[in-house]
Amino acid sequence: MPVDPSTERYELAIPVLPEDIDELGHVNNVVYLRWVQAAAVAHWQAAATEAQQAELAWVAVRHEIDYKHPAMPGDQLLARTWVGTSDGRAFERHTEILRQSDRRLLARARTLWCPISRKTGRPTKVGDDVRARFSVATS
């Protein structure tokens, strides 16, 4: 049975480390970007075939992050990510960063990713199998 990528959520546990904390005593905004990327990479590695991973890499071409509440020292977080639409070579991905203890939304991100050929290092088209697994159809 095919997986519906519009409803699939991939989750990655994230501990807040001492080096994530800035001079204001909470997680620095730049760290959220690292977590968004880590969740996307982990999802790709968990869901793509070995052949797909050997053929393709992804580069971010745009990040949008809305910060809702700070993450604090000692927090255990959860990055939840899922795919969105694709348009040509731009693949949309959504990510939420939640505090595990109360499921409070700390940040929400939208990222556009471009597939890159590992052989050439250049943007590339993807097969229908990748497009079906890592994007949702537009209406």
- Taking the model in full, what pTM does it have? 0.91
Q: Rounded distance, CA 108 to CA 113, Å? A: 16
Terminal CA-CA length for the chain: 22
Q: Rounded distance, CA 86 to CA 68, Å? A: 26
Q: Look up the CATH number of the domain holding residue 53.
A: 3.10.129.10
Whether the per-residue pLDDT at 1 is higher than 60: the answer is no
* Parent domain of 65: 10-133
Q: What is the pLDDT of residues 10-68, one digit of tens each?
A: 999 999 999 999 999 999 999 999 999 999 999 999 999 999 999 999 999 999 999 99
Asked if residue 2 is part of any domain, the answer here is: no
Asked if residue 1 is part of any domain, the answer here is: no
Asked if residue 59 is part of any domain, the answer here is: yes
Q: How many domains does the chain have?
A: 1
- Per-residue pLDDT, 89: 86
